[in-house]
Structure 1
């Protein structure tokens, strides 16, 4: 259905806001729950490296979301699962992520751009806060933390490569929360598709 992507944005566009929010909540919760379990089990024995364990746990959930074996390794782009990981990290990360995404989304209506900026912001936060002693970890553990964060950011940008190309060419599809705007956007896309088909047929003739 739609872009054939299993993620929140496609569900939002094709099935509506409520369905999209349900999918987002489910994808985010699986990461929140996984991180919560890790914190519960290792909060005492591994307190000196807890942020790193949390990030590894989030990375595992995101990889499972992006490449599920039961869907022939064709999953979503990991943004909702990443949101769950960020929420689990700390209120500071959550506040910055929410501000970044929604300010970008309500100005541009590009979900992909908001998501990519959240990842960029998360990576910057990791390094800045890490260098200022926020995580209370040794230098080797901090380097490992940055490495895992960088891996996740690179994967997110790679998964959004087609979106990035469309953003640069100003052809990326916008997303709206109101049903009226969604219908207008759908009608616009259908009209553009029909026009492209007619143009192609004219060139063939």
Structure 2
């Protein structure tokens, strides 16, 4: 199944290279990476170009992960029915990698949170409910999108470990190697999300993090 894993990663990476925020900004004559935080993701697009741009970017970045996962599911579901969830996770992680490190933009993309949200919704929709509640609640209370994102990806990992223990993810409880692999991939999402926010973490700890304010365009 090594080949299938690589294919899933590659398909995900290619879809991840569809930089919604960057492409939307270009359609308006703006390189979003040269404005605001310099990030090509949802938050910077929302702050810089307004609600419509932010919504389009969020949906585009979320759905590219979902589409990549659905393609892999369709291609391999009959060949690897017991491990399809693993391949879905590889496709999802590949999408995050493509979004964060797009080859045609000098590997300078976003932080992968909207993509991760799409992965959670596609692979483990039950976990998406709490992740969404946690993210929205933290941002609403603190006005820190970065903090909401960090906690969200952490909550995702905790849920995955618990759900796998009770067989909710859909993996065979006898296949401990697959369950462990699923947990490890989920941990990669969490580590990636936290690592991409390392500068934000420093600012949060020092009290200098920017609070959520968006353009009124």
Same fold (TM over 0.5): yes
| 2:49 is equivalent to residue 24 of structure 1 | no
Q: CA deviation at 1:178?
A: 7.9
TM-superposition CA deviations, 1:104-145 (whole Å, max 9, x none): 111111111111111001100111111112223310011111
Q: CA deviation at 1:90?
A: 3.1
Matching residue of 2:106: 72
Off by >6 Å, runs of 4+ in structure 1: none
Question: What is the alpha-carbon distance in structure 2 between the residues aligned to residue 17 and residue 173 of structure 1?
Answer: 18
Question: What is the alpha-carbon distance in structure 2 between the residues aligned to residue 54 and residue 113 of structure 1?
Answer: 27
Question: What is the alpha-carbon distance in structure 2 between the residues aligned to residue 5 and residue 71 of structure 1?
Answer: 12
Alpha carbons of 1:31 and 1:156: their partners in 2 closer, same or farther (altered >3 Å)? same
Question: Superposition pairs for residues 100-111 of structure 1, below 5 Å?
Answer: 100-111=134-145
Matching residue of 1:158: 195
Matching residue of 1:169: 206
Normalising to structure 1: TM-score of the pair? Answer: 0.83
SS at match of 2:156: helix
Name which of 50, 59, 64 aligns with 2:84. 50
Matching residue of 1:199: none
CA-based RMSD of the aligned residues comes to: 1.5
Question: What is the alpha-carbon distance in structure 2 between the residues aligned to residue 178 and residue 100 of structure 1?
Answer: 24
Q: CA deviation at 1:91?
A: 2.7
| 2:182 is equivalent to residue 145 of structure 1 | yes
**How many correspondences in the alignment?**
180
Question: What is the alpha-carbon distance in structure 1 between the residues aligned to residue 192 and residue 184 of structure 2?
Answer: 12
TM-superposition CA deviations, 1:161-192 (whole Å, max 9, x none): 0001111111111114683xx9xxxxxxxxxx
Alpha carbons of 1:27 and 1:153: their partners in 2 closer, same or farther (altered >3 Å)? same
Q: Find the structure with the greater CA-based Rg.
A: 1
Question: What is the alpha-carbon distance in structure 2 between the residues aligned to residue 165 and residue 126 of structure 1?
Answer: 27
Q: CA deviation at 1:45?
A: 2.6
Q: Structure 1: which 5+ residue stretches go unaligned?
A: 183-205
TM-superposition CA deviations, 1:21-47 (whole Å, max 9, x none): 111111111001011111222223322
SS at match of 1:48: coil
Normalising to structure 2: TM-score of the pair? Answer: 0.79
Structure having the larger proportion of residues in helix: 1
